[in-house]
Structures are given as structure tokens and as C-alpha cells.
Amino acid sequence: MPPQQASILIVDDELSVRDSLLHWFRKDGFNVATAASATLALQALEQSPYDIILLDIKMPGMDGMELQSRVHALNPKIVVIMMTAFASVDTAVRALKQGAFDYVTKPIDPDELSHLVSRALKERRLEDENSQLKETIAELSSADFVIGESPAMHKVMEMIRQVAQTNATVMIRGESGTGKELVARTIHANSARKYFPIVPINCGALPDSLLESELFGHEKGAFTGANFRRKGRLEMADGGTLFLDEIGTITSKMQVDLLRAIETNEVMRLGGSRPVHVDFRIICATNEDLEKLVAEGRFRQDLYYRINVFSIALPALRERREDIPTLARHFMGKLAMEMDKRVSDISPEANQKLMAYDWPGNVRELANAIERAMVVSRTGIIRPEDLPFAVPEAPATATPVSDSLADMEKAHIAVVLGKTRWNITQAAELLQIDRATLYNKIKRYGLQRAEGGEAEANGSKPA
Amino acid sequence: MSEVFLVPICLPGQLLLLEHVSAQVSRAFAATVTVLPHRLDPELAFDSSRGQYNSTELLAQLLEETAGSEAGVLGIAGVDLFIPILTYVFGEAQLAGRAAVVSTYRLDNARYGLPANDRILLDRLDKESIHELGHTRGLVHCNQAVCVMRSSTYVEDIDLKSAQFCLACRARLAAPAASR
């Protein structure tokens, strides 16, 4: 902060002190104001903000100590420097305990004063930088927040809210691409640990021996090639969160070691002789049936109970098709910025194609599909032909038996129900009628769900 | 500023020193410099508890001494100066005012246990005189390492800077007073 932009308030009941400091700091280019009493100082603070306050401890009426605590309550960012003519260790300690930046004895050495003020300015700048960075972290961590308006996602968000502020171990279940890591990051970003790292490790991607050294670290010479000491991911997550993806793949030895680390909050490096205390929170994820693994004896029951304290199940994208348009628009907007490409809309036909597809790769696949569509799109609008997948021909098993309006309607409803795998909400949306009407029509036309989810219109000819 | 008065304060037998500073001030500000006979009573500014002279009091006396004139006035004192909140000052000036005062007391190497050196003393006095008169012309402290308007809290700081204004300060000096 250049001095020209910094402001100083001098509070002292002695006119000569106020005047001499006023002139001194003005020559340094500061915006300076003075106040002859604590009451006047508080009035000045209400009118404009100050970066630094130089404050006399002994004043008639409200003294400097009292004023300091009021200033601190008003704005803890203001750097307060206490001045006194009568140095005493007691007052100095009291002032510093109350949050004063420093304490000087009058008269002040000119050199001490200029150092003090430049240190105070640095402190103030760091405070500002710190709060800006915190805001940036908050923005960054919320930028990719879990998106979705479906009841299933509302439930997930509610669970994230419930568990984020606690220290509980969380298990996230869901198919590949449903956003398990994003949920883990969201929990971390909303927890008190957010200013410490979230350290992810994909247990399934590493062979057992490597995973052990990755997780626990190793001492120099612990094994051939271990030429240097190395911190493990558990230690790197100190103060923060360790995200263990594909937890179901770890071997029984690793399960024992991990359980011990979780229970004792201590980590022993490979080849190490003494444990290191680490403060971490664990979030696990898996797309495997852990209960089955436990029943088969391939996953330790005690570890299972340890990590399965709070479980969040993420729905597959096909189970929340109503979120597809919102998600697609979100990715379009995000990628448009990243790619600096003007793609501003998704055509209704493309949206229908997106909603009809099954998304085995879930949200990740959707994001990739939108990215590809944006690359190939020439019109600024994503059209069905830009999308890189083919929706299996809708079960066009319903050719109307006659040209009557009723038969046409029955056949069309059957096609739409087939497309949406009998998701009534979606089908009603596509048909632009409400759900109750759709139910009535299904009942009236005797439509039934066939095996595999296709609609079967009684009396219709097979295609 | 077309005219500057120099007023010696407790500075007996220093005619050469006054002439030297006159020439430097004249050069720096393109001003006519006149040495006024010593008529101040510095004892009015003396603080017996500190054994020092209050420079703010001296400024008031310099203004009174030259009341009615629009000329700048620079007191050159041979005594130790202070402002109430600081332990000492090399000098003091009214920001965008008329009066300034500097002291030779702490500029002398002999004060620091070193052999006296008149050349260094004069050099420091030139810089501090120009610095304080710079304040009276509305200049604030400058961050440029060699600019004469850089703030100095140690004599060594004075030695590091030059007796010249940097380009920016010179431009501000040349600008109309209101825009400084």
C-alpha cells in the first residue's frame, strides 16, 4: 500500500503530540487526521475508515485501552499502535494481549517510528491480502458446486450441509463419473479445514507397494530407490482432508495400516522408527458393493464401520434426467469461458437428445459431450448433430393401429415413455402435459411397461 | 519562491557556512537568498527537561520575525532540535508554508565519535536545508533513493541521497502550488 493511500488517525489529548505527528506523517504522504479524545476518535472512525491508529494510553475520560478494545470490536483489521509517556511492562502486556500491534514510549525515536509504521502498513496489507485470498478460495471452491434441482440432488446437498462442518468420516457411493470427488471437495470447502489442503489419492490407480509409500511416506533408504525422505499423502493432508478414491480396491495389509492410522491419527513412514501425529479427516469413495466385499471377507469389517460413518449415495445421471439441461448449460457456460468460444445456447432438439441418452459415464460423459459439441458447433448453438453419441432409436414399437387421433396419441405417448424409460416426470415434460394427465392417459390407453423399460402399447404392431 | 531569508540560530562565527548554504539554496530554488541578522531568542524554545530546543517553537518565531513578507525563511540552528513526540529531528518545516528550520547539531561526525569533517557536515546541511525548504514548497517525502526529498532518520541516510530533486519532485516544484 503506498503511503499516499494509507490513512492514520492520531489520538492524544496533548495538542503538541497531535500536531507534531500530524505534520510528520503528512510529510510522509499519509492521509492524517487527529482526535483529542476517545469519543472524538470513535466519531472519526464512524465517518471514515483508517488503516492505522496511534493511540495514547492515558487520556482523560475513556482511556486508550478502552478505546482500543472498541476499535477492535468495530474493525479488527485496523492496526493499533499504543503510545505512552510512562513505560510499564504491565500496560505493554495488557495492550498487546488486547490485540495492539505494538507499543511505543514517548518520545519516539524517529527511526523507530518510521519502521513501526512501515511494519504496520505491511501487516495491514497482509490482512487485506489474506481476506482477499480467503474470498478467492471461497469463490473457487463454490464455483463447481454440486449442481442439480432434482429431489435426489437436493437430498445430496442437504447431506453435504449436515456433514461438512463435522469431522466425521464420509463415504461417497456412486457410479463412475457421478461426481464423487466434487462432493468430497465441496464437503472440504465447506468445512473448517478449508484453508488446509484436500489431498486426493486414487487407491485403484496404484499398485499396493506404491500405494503404501504414497500414503504413509518413507524414510531415506527404506527400499531400493528411496534416496530421499518423502512425506506421505496422509502427512500432506495435515490439518485438511484426505480423499481416498476407490477405497474398495486396497489390499488387506493396507486396510490394517489405514485403520491404524485412522484410529490413532498417527502415521509411521516406511522404514521410520517413530510415528508422526497428523490431523486429517478422511473422505472415501467407491463404486463397489462394499457390503458384498465385507461378506466375502475381502474388506475388513472394522475398517468398513470406521469409514462408513456417514454415507452419501450419488444418483446416476439417468436417475435424475431433469438435471441434464441445467448441467449441460452449466458446462456450456464454463467451457465457453475457458475455450473463449461463443456458444450461447442448446437447441430444444439437442436437449431432447441429451435427455433421452442413458449416460453410462454419467456427468463426466455429459461434460465431455458438451465440450466436443462446442468444438464442432459452427452456429453458436449446440444442435443434435453436434452431439457425439447416438440415442438408440426410440422404441418405435408403437405404430398407430389407425389414423384416429386417439390411436395416434396412444402410440406417441408409448414412444415418449420408451424414450424416458418410463420416467413419468420427464415424459410429461416432453409431452408438455402435467403428470396427472399423463397417468390418466396411460390408464385410459392401457399402456404397460415392458421388460427393459420400453413402453408397450397394447394392440400396436411391432416395428 | 523568489526570495529566501536565512536566519542563524545559536550559530556564532559561522559566516562561511551561511554563505555556503545561501549559494546552494539559491541554486536549488533559483531564489534570492538574504542572511538576516540574528534576532531570535532561542531560549524561549528551550525545554529544560529534555535539554533540547522545540523546533515548532522556533518555526513560530521565524514566522513572527519575518511577518509581512511572503519570502521563505530558513533557520539554521547549532542546537539540538526536537518535536514533542520524537526524540530528535534534523529539521522541521511547514508543509506548503513559509518557515523551515534545520540543525547542524546531529549532522556533525564528531557527535558520533568520529573525527570532525567540515566537508561532510556542509554536504549534509545543504541536503537537509533543501529538503526542509522543499516541504515549504509542498513536496512530501519521496521514495527515490537519491532524491533530496527522501526521508532520513539517520545521518547515514542523508549521505546516501543527493542534493538534487528527482524528476518527479522537480516537476511538482515547477507546477502551480495548488496542484502539488
CATH number for the domain that contains residue A413: 1.10.10
Angle (CA) A359-A361-A366 rounded to 5° is 65
How far is the C-alpha of A395 from the C-alpha of A460, rounded, in Å? Answer: 12
Q: Residue A109: give the domain boundaries.
A: 3-133
Q: Over chain B, what is the mean pLDDT?
A: 92
- Does A158 lie in the same domain as A203? yes
- Does A18 lie in the same domain as A85? yes
- Does A114 lie in the same domain as A77? yes
pLDDT digits (tens, 9 = 90+) for A230-256: 788 998 888 899 999 999 999 998 999
Mean pLDDT of A442-447: 81
> Given this model, what pLDDT does residue A74 score?
84
Residues of chain B found within 8 Å of residue A15, distances taken between Cβ atoms: none
Phi, psi of B95 (to 5 degrees): -70, 125
Domain boundary among A354, A386, A418: A386
Mark yes or no for CB contact A27/B154 under 8 Å: no
The total number of structural domains that make up chain A: 4
Domain ranges, ordered by start, for chain B: 3-140
| A50-54, A80-84, A205-209: least confidently modelled range | A205-209
User: Which residues, other chains included, contact A251 with Cβ-Cβ below 8 Å and sequence gap of 6+?
Assistant: A208
> Given this model, what pLDDT does residue A333 score?
85
Percent of chain A with pLDDT over 70: 90
Q: Which residues of B are catalytic?
A: 132
Looking at residue A350, which CATH number applies to its domain?
1.10.8.60
> Given this model, what pLDDT does residue A1 score?
45
Residues of chain A found within 8 Å of residue B154, distances taken between Cβ atoms: 111
- Does A299 lie in the same domain as A176? yes
Q: Is the ipTM of this complex over 0.90?
A: no
pLDDT in tens, chain B (180 residues): 579 999 999 988 788 899 999 999 999 999 999 999 877 889 999 999 999 999 999 999 999 999 999 999 999 999 999 999 999 999 999 999 999 999 999 999 999 888 989 999 999 999 999 999 999 999 999 989 899 999 998 899 999 999 999 999 999 998 876 555
Residue A408 has which C-alpha cell?
Answer: 395416434
Closest residue in chain B to residue A26, using alpha carbons only: B140
- Does A327 lie in the same domain as A292? no
Domain-embedded: residue A81: yes
Amino acid identity of residue A456, one-letter, is E
> Given this model, what pLDDT does residue A457 score?
44
How far is the C-alpha of A425 from the C-alpha of A322, rounded, in Å? Answer: 8
* Closest by CA position to A324, among listed A376, A395, A382: A382
> What is A10-58 written as a DSSP string?
EE-S-HHHHHHHHHHHHHTT-EEEEESSHHHHHHHHHHS--SEEEEES-
Q: Choose between A19 and A141: higher pLDDT.
A: A19
Q: Give the strand order in the sheet containing B81-82.
A: B46-47, B52-54, B81-82
Cβ of residue A1 closer than 8 Å to a chain B Cβ = no
Cβ of residue B96 closer than 8 Å to a chain A Cβ = no
* Distance to chain B for A191, nearest Cα, Å: 44
> Given this model, what pLDDT does residue A32 score?
93
Question: Is the pLDDT reported for residue A399 higher than 90?
Answer: no
The answer to whether A101 and A93 have CB atoms below 8 angstroms apart is no
Q: Which contiguous run of DSSP H or E holds residue A455?
A: strand A455-456
Mark yes or no for CB contact A24/B85 under 8 Å: yes
Mark yes or no for CB contact A21/B85 under 8 Å: yes
Cβ of residue A28 closer than 8 Å to a chain B Cβ = yes
How far is the C-alpha of A444 from the C-alpha of B41, rounded, in Å? Answer: 115
> β-pairing, A345-346 with A381-382?
parallel
Question: Is the pLDDT reported for residue A405 higher than 60?
Answer: yes
* Distance to chain A for B144, nearest Cα, Å: 13
How far out from the chain centre does Cα A296 lie?
Answer: 36
Domain boundary among A313, A335, A368: A313
How far is the C-alpha of A65 from the C-alpha of A369, rounded, in Å? Answer: 64
Domain boundary among A329, A352, A386: A386
Q: Choose between A222 and B89: higher pLDDT.
A: B89
Q: Which 8-state DSSP code applies to residue A296? A: T
User: Is the backbone peptide bond immediately before A107 cis, with ω within 30 degrees of 0?
Assistant: yes
Question: How many Cα atoms sit within 13 Å of A239 on the Cβ side?
Answer: 5
> Given this model, what pLDDT does residue A463 score?
32
Q: Which of A1, A23, A109, A121 to mutate to test the interface with B (most CBs of B within 10 A)?
A: A23
Domain-embedded: residue A394: no
The answer to whether B96 and B172 have CB atoms below 8 angstroms apart is no
Tell me which residue in A3, A16, A27 faces B95 most closely, judged by beta carbons: A27
* pLDDT band at residue A458 using 50, 70 and 90 as cut-offs: very low
Closest residue in chain B to residue A10, using alpha carbons only: B85
How far is the C-alpha of A181 from the C-alpha of A174, rounded, in Å? Answer: 11
Q: Choose between A364 and A341: higher pLDDT.
A: A364
Domain-embedded: residue A277: yes
> Given this model, what pLDDT does residue B177 score?
64
* pLDDT band at residue A4 using 50, 70 and 90 as cut-offs: low
How deeply is A30 buried, as exposed, middle or buried, from its count of CB atoms within 10 A (0-12, 13-18, 19+)?
A: buried
The b/e string for A424-447 (b: 16+ C-beta within 10 A; e otherwise) is eebbbbbbeeeeeebeebbeebeb
- Does A180 lie in the same domain as A73? no
Phi, psi of A31 (to 5 degrees): -85, 115
How far is the C-alpha of B94 from the C-alpha of A210, rounded, in Å? Answer: 73
- Does A278 lie in the same domain as A208? yes
Residue B118 three-state SS? helix
> Given this model, what pLDDT does residue A393 score?
52
> Given this model, what pLDDT does residue A343 score?
83
> β-pairing, A198-202 with A31-35?
unpaired
How far is the C-alpha of A139 from the C-alpha of A145, rounded, in Å? Answer: 10
How far is the C-alpha of B145 from the C-alpha of A26, rounded, in Å? Answer: 19
Amino acid identity of residue A172, one-letter, is I
> Given this model, what pLDDT does residue A377 score?
85
> Given this model, what pLDDT does residue B61 score?
95
Cβ of residue B178 closer than 8 Å to a chain A Cβ = no
Angle (CA) A139-A145-A146 rounded to 5° is 175
Domain-embedded: residue A292: yes
> Given this model, what pLDDT does residue A22 score?
92
- Does A323 lie in the same domain as A302? no
How far is the C-alpha of B98 from the C-alpha of A422, rounded, in Å? Answer: 91
Q: What is the CATH number of domain B3-140?
A: 3.40.390.10
Closest residue in chain B to residue A18, using alpha carbons only: B85
What pTM was estimated for this model as a whole? 0.54
User: Which residues, other chains included, contact A188 with Cβ-Cβ below 8 Å and sequence gap of 6+?
Assistant: A141, A164, A194, A198, A240, A241, A243, A281, A283
Mark yes or no for CB contact B85/A111 under 8 Å: no
Question: Is the pLDDT reported for residue A168 higher than 90?
Answer: yes
Q: Which 8-state DSSP code applies to residue A37? A: S
